[in-house]
Structure 1
Amino acid sequence: MRFKSYGWNVIGPIDGHDASQIQDAITLAKQQTSKPNLIICKTMIGWGSPNMAGTHDVHGAPLGEKEAAATREQLHWPYAPFEIPADIQSAWSAIEAGQSAQSEWDRQFSSYASSFPELAAEFTRVMHEELPSNWAQTKSSLLDFAKSISAPTASRKSSQQALDILVAGIPELLGGSADTAGKTSKAWHTHQDEDINYLSYGVREFGMSAIMNGIALHRGLIPYGGTFAVFSDYARNGMRMSALMKQRVIYVLTHDSIGLGEDGPTHQPIEHASSLRLIPGLHLWRPCDGFETAVAWIESIERKDGPAALFLSRQNLPQYSGERVQAHDILRGGYILSDCAASPEAVFIATGSEVSLAMQAQEKLHALGRHVRVVSMPCTALFDEQDAQWKEKVLPKGIKRIAIEAGHPDFWRKYVGLEGEVVGINRFGESAPAPAVYELLGLTVDRLVASV
């Protein structure tokens, strides 16, 4: 009844052990083209086993030699293990049918290409996951724009500005959000705009991630979808599958820290960035400003063998990287954002909104004659891939390291070592304006100064 109330075409229940009923149901479902289909099959676990059918004994364990023999007898199955009878193999094999269908598709596409060569070439391009011929120009325009912004800007807003440029140059970008479009700064359309590549997923974070996986597997489109960072808990299984299947899916996760303020601890991510970084193959970006945000988008689009998660701020962030470094430095995942005149006695490692705290602390320490380096590390996965020479250049051995992030501290201990320090949060947040929460939880310039 639930799926009928959703407007689905519901078929069944049918006997899930009867091949003819299953085939009839599939045929019936194919006739319905205006709504999704659900076929309900009634089955019994261990069906055919005379002594174990309908019990948990057949779940995750072999029948055993005696029960297997009894099952064969009950099913009238005289064949040896792994032997497939010729009639079943003939009915099961789809090689000839597949070859015929492929040949017909090739014939139709060849005819289509003759009539519409430009559209056919575009289809071939996107299905081969090739970016448009003007990609270099689009990328350059995006980086130039990001460099031109000097006013403090929330990275979620910087992401929106990047998208405005990207969607104009990459028609296969397909966006969406889990009912948070306005707050994640992706409401760059109206629901009446039929020509906009955008899906409203509703309050369905896992549904969004699963649908985007399907879109990516089909090829031809580059899906991205947004929600609050804390709601990545609901999407996590789909995000893990994106990484496991090595699919280009882009997750836009906003309100990335206690900086979101008054919504309080239920909406303030603490462990989320660290836990998502642990998913193999997922590139989590936490940019400190608009230029890093632009680079994060570029890397996420150019990379074809895995997903990305963009952790973006609600609060405004100063602009640092655009006037100091090149995009290729940021693409290394971690780089020297601000160095000191002499050899550093300490290194601050920061991400996102905490980079500004590190920069302010560096300025105070320099006024005291202390030499401190600031390293921005927006993507730890990329930094981990760098060679030993780059890592030593950025984080020299024998120098104290202090990592700062408005999240759980444990992830950063591998970077700071036993003699280093992590300024983070190992408790839930509070409901208060962002500056007050930062002060309460000890993420302050004075604390960083005292740590050196």
Structure 2
Amino acid sequence: MKTAAVTSQETLSINALRILALDAVEQAKSGHPGMPMGMAPTAYVLWTEFLKHDPRDPQWPDRDRFVLSAGHGSMLLYGLLHLSGYDLPLEELRRFRQWGSKTPGHPEYGHTPGVETTTGPLGQGLSTAVGMAIAERKLAAEFGSEIVDHYTYVIASDGDLMEGVTGEASSLAGHLGLGKLIVFYDDNEVSIDGSTALAFSEDRLLRYEAYGWQVIREVHGEDLAAIRSAIRAAQADPRPSIISVRSIIGFGSPLAGNHKAHSDAMGPERVAATRAALGWEYPPFVIPEEVYADYRRSLERGQQAHAEWQARFEALAQAQPERAAEFRRRLEGKLPDLTSALPHFAAGERLATRAASGKTLERLVPALPELVGGSADLTPSNNTRTPDMEDFSRTNPRGRYIHYGVREHAMAAAMNGITLHGGYRAYGGTFLVFSDYLRPSLRLAALMGVPTVFVFTHDSIALGEDGPTHQPIEHLMSLRVIPNLWVIRPADANETAVAWKMALQRREGPTALVLTRQAVPVLSGVERAGVERGGYVISEVPQPQGCIVATGSEVSLALEAQALLLQQGIAVRVVSLPCWEAFEGQPQAYRDSVLPPSLPTLAVEAGASLGWERYADAVLGIDHFGASAPYPAVYHNLGFRPGTVARAMLELFGMAGYGGYET
């Protein structure tokens, strides 16, 4: 590779970014130096000349969003944040990937100032950025471009474009015409295994043309003028844009262009050779003052843009105080009291909880203009669209309902991006069994603490005729094991209304609402306060001898079994436990009052039994796949009927055969 001495301030500043990545990875003996070294020129031009941001206020609403989708190259972002004046001291870069540092191995939202979303699982950053671009388009249409007018920039790798989720998300972005979304594709033709030709041979840029994107081909990664020109062209086009940057992975190092530059420290000899090749004469982690001055010349531009925005917003507040107050409320995430907005359902009716969810949304959507809904092509089944919701489209950006198509994974990532952007709360629906298709994005929502709401319907074997391919068995438990995710499976319509209140009031992480396809009775013993505590006694008896605990549609089954047992003089209480996570957050005394350790307890749930041992001595569940038939037949033949529940309770008492209940 041809070496070049430092000949300009630009070269010095770009090489500083490269060397910071090299030194941090070398000190940690871990990391990914290759991508930061190759994409440093693109990042330098974007951050010093185009990106609208103010490091003094990383949450300024009208800042441009920058997403490093290639999150393995996190040192590129950490170097940019440090050099640009964010609260990320050099000492934190020295502590790259160490316990307690602000520079973890992949960018983490809420952990490091200036990081807009957690990235690392490839494809997630770009797909989340699509949601950010949707939110920008909607917020600008609602509040005006004088208040909302910014871009979402992404650096994506070959790995990002290989992942299926980016295909889903990019197709959606092209369909919606998200012109404020600009992606830099690090087209270095290298992946971990070797050349991308090993597994990635289609014309990916032609694919993006088919998606409806503007494609800017083969911008040389060291040509700053070409990079500037490409950014201007992308900003001027009404379509989303992808800029192919032909970079060289590990630029300046002996491993330049080699897949071995992707991961891991290069070692002292290669680090020394890289310093020589780049003409870098400074010790590790020593940055010349002129480099700081160069990067921070963007501070004045950002602060001026921020001040001008603040003046426009204050003018809006003077002219239209209610509109300005609503903008503030949305960004602060403040909610009105939702209790009065919740519907009440009369006991004795029969209503699927998915239908009750739809009726609850009919009350909540007018009360909360920040709610943005959607579905992965299952709107009539999920009941996620209310009659007065207009569709969001390229011609109607004020619409509040997004048709995501059959793109569950991209839907979940986009919902995260919409909520992360600020100004909106996103919810979206699909069948519970397809939570498998979006699980990586749901997991990231939990990791980031983003309050996205996932509406999962068709929650059990009771969906019937579609059979085992669509009947979720293991899914409830698989969701419950995700940290910081609340899973709420309401027993009836009134519990469903409270579940929506819980989901919307929760700010610390996502919530999954798990709802029935089949009609279930509206129960008489529902306590709203008890639902909010995660569990409560829905039907008490004097001097209970035992307890049946259930969720969802099995609560009414438990109540029927309770009545059968009472006919035999056996008294058991019934507990509804719609949300384990909320219940676990209650004081031990309350939990013991609901589920006394001294009472023999049977759990009933039409799903996997694993996990119920924390609450119950025995479980009536299902640990095999279901069957295709009308749902009453499926329930009956798989043992979910009052007599079977009663017999299981008797067996727990050691009274097998008593009562003559059919098995």
Q: What's the counterpart of residue 540 of structure 2? A: 339
- Aligned mate of 2:289, from 86, 108, 120: 86
Q: What's the counterpart of residue 36 of structure 1? A: 240
Q: What's the counterpart of residue 10 of structure 1? A: 215
Contact 1:48-1:71 within 8 A present in 2 as well: yes
- Aligned mate of 1:330, from 531, 537, 541: 531
Query: Quick check: 1:366 aligned with 2:566?
Result: yes
Displacement after TM superposition at 1:259 (Å): 0.8
Query: Quick check: 1:65 aligned with 2:268?
Result: yes
Q: What's the counterpart of residue 305 of structure 2? A: 101
Alpha-carbon distance in structure 2 between the residues aligned to 1:170 and 1:228: 25
Contact 2:463-2:517 within 8 A present in 1 as well: yes
Q: State the secondary structure of the residue aligned to 2:308.
A: helix
Contact 2:535-2:577 within 8 A present in 1 as well: yes
Q: What's the counterpart of residue 608 of structure 2? A: 408
Gapped runs of 5+ residues in structure 1? Answer: none
Q: State the secondary structure of the residue aligned to 1:13.
A: strand
Q: Which amino acid aligns with 1:173?
A: L
Alpha-carbon distance in structure 1 between the residues aligned to 2:362 and 2:332: 24
Q: State the secondary structure of the residue aligned to 1:287.
A: coil
- Aligned mate of 1:286, from 472, 489, 504: 489
- Aligned mate of 1:27, from 222, 228, 232: 232
Query: Quick check: 1:123 aligned with 2:327?
Result: yes
Q: What's the counterpart of residue 421 of structure 1? A: 618
Q: 1:9 to 1:333 in 2, by over 3 A?
A: same
Q: State the secondary structure of the residue aligned to 1:61.
A: coil
Displacement after TM superposition at 1:170 (Å): 1.1
Contact 1:287-1:311 within 8 A present in 2 as well: yes
Alpha-carbon distance in structure 2 between the residues aligned to 1:268 and 1:71: 57
Displacement after TM superposition at 1:25 (Å): 2.1
Alpha-carbon distance in structure 2 between the residues aligned to 1:445 and 1:354: 10
Of 287-296 and 398-407, deviating more is: 398-407
Displacement after TM superposition at 1:87 (Å): 3.7
Displacement after TM superposition at 1:337 (Å): 0.7
Displacement after TM superposition at 1:89 (Å): 2.6
Q: Which amino acid aligns with 2:551?
A: T
Of 90-99 and 365-374, deviating more is: 90-99
What is the TM-score when the length of structure 2 is the normalising length?
Answer: 0.64
Q: What's the counterpart of residue 552 of structure 2? A: 352
Q: What's the counterpart of residue 263 of structure 1? A: 466
Q: State the secondary structure of the residue aligned to 2:251.
A: coil
- Aligned mate of 1:300, from 484, 503, 509: 503
Alpha-carbon distance in structure 1 between the residues aligned to 2:272 and 2:453: 51
Alpha-carbon distance in structure 1 between the residues aligned to 2:627 and 2:324: 55
Of 156-165 and 99-108, deviating more is: 99-108
Q: What's the counterpart of residue 647 of structure 2? A: 450
Contact 1:254-1:312 within 8 A present in 2 as well: yes
Contact 2:516-2:553 within 8 A present in 1 as well: yes
Displacement after TM superposition at 1:172 (Å): 1.2
Q: What's the counterpart of residue 475 of structure 2? A: 272
Displacement after TM superposition at 1:404 (Å): 1.2
Q: Which amino acid aligns with 1:203?
A: V
Displacement after TM superposition at 1:141 (Å): 4.1
Q: What's the counterpart of residue 454 of structure 2? A: 251
Displacement after TM superposition at 1:88 (Å): 3.3
Q: State the secondary structure of the residue aligned to 1:183.
A: helix
What is the TM-score when the length of structure 1 is the normalising length?
Answer: 0.92
Matches of residues 139-288 of structure 1 in structure 2 within 5 Å? Answer: 139-142=339-342, 145-148=343-346, 150-189=348-387, 196-288=399-491
Alpha-carbon distance in structure 2 between the residues aligned to 1:435 and 1:385: 36
Alpha-carbon distance in structure 1 between the residues aligned to 2:233 and 2:289: 28
Displacement after TM superposition at 1:438 (Å): 1.7
Q: How many residues are treated as equivalent by the alignment?
A: 438
Q: What's the counterpart of residue 393 of structure 1? A: 593
CA deviation map 1:40-68 (0-9, x unaligned): 22334333221x33444334321111111
CA deviation map 1:338-371 (0-9, x unaligned): 11111x2221110001111111111100110111
Q: State the secondary structure of the residue aligned to 1:262.
A: helix
Alpha-carbon distance in structure 1 between the residues aligned to 2:399 and 2:212: 25
Q: Which amino acid aligns with 1:386?
A: Q
Contact 1:325-1:337 within 8 A present in 2 as well: yes
State the superposition RMSD in angstroms: 1.8
Alpha-carbon distance in structure 1 between the residues aligned to 2:304 and 2:274: 38
Alpha-carbon distance in structure 2 between the residues aligned to 1:413 and 1:19: 62
Q: State the secondary structure of the residue aligned to 1:407.
A: coil
Q: State the secondary structure of the residue aligned to 1:402.
A: strand
Q: Which amino acid aligns with 1:30?
A: Q
Displacement after TM superposition at 1:393 (Å): 0.2
Displacement after TM superposition at 1:17 (Å): 4.8
Alpha-carbon distance in structure 2 between the residues aligned to 1:426 and 1:216: 36
Contact 2:486-2:512 within 8 A present in 1 as well: yes
CA deviation map 1:138-180 (0-9, x unaligned): 52241xx324363110000000000000012111111111111
Alpha-carbon distance in structure 1 between the residues aligned to 2:534 and 2:232: 51
Q: State the secondary structure of the residue aligned to 1:146.
A: coil
Q: 1:234 to 1:397 in 2, by over 3 A?
A: same
- Aligned mate of 1:430, from 589, 610, 627: 627
Contact 1:295-1:331 within 8 A present in 2 as well: yes
Alpha-carbon distance in structure 1 between the residues aligned to 2:332 and 2:360: 24
Displacement after TM superposition at 1:298 (Å): 0.5
Alpha-carbon distance in structure 2 between the residues aligned to 1:108 and 1:286: 46
Alpha-carbon distance in structure 1 between the residues aligned to 2:326 and 2:265: 51
Contact 1:149-1:290 within 8 A present in 2 as well: no
Matches of residues 38-53 of structure 1 in structure 2 within 5 Å? Answer: 38-50=242-254, 52-53=255-256
Q: 1:16 to 1:228 in 2, by over 3 A?
A: farther
Alpha-carbon distance in structure 2 between the residues aligned to 1:442 and 1:317: 18
Contact 1:338-1:375 within 8 A present in 2 as well: yes
Contact 2:547-2:602 within 8 A present in 1 as well: yes
Q: Which amino acid aligns with 1:238?
A: S
Query: Quick check: 1:377 aligned with 2:577?
Result: yes
Q: Which amino acid aligns with 1:393?
A: S
Q: State the secondary structure of the residue aligned to 2:465.
A: coil
CA deviation map 1:310-356 (0-9, x unaligned): 00000001111xx32431111110111111111x2221110001111
Contact 2:248-2:257 within 8 A present in 1 as well: yes
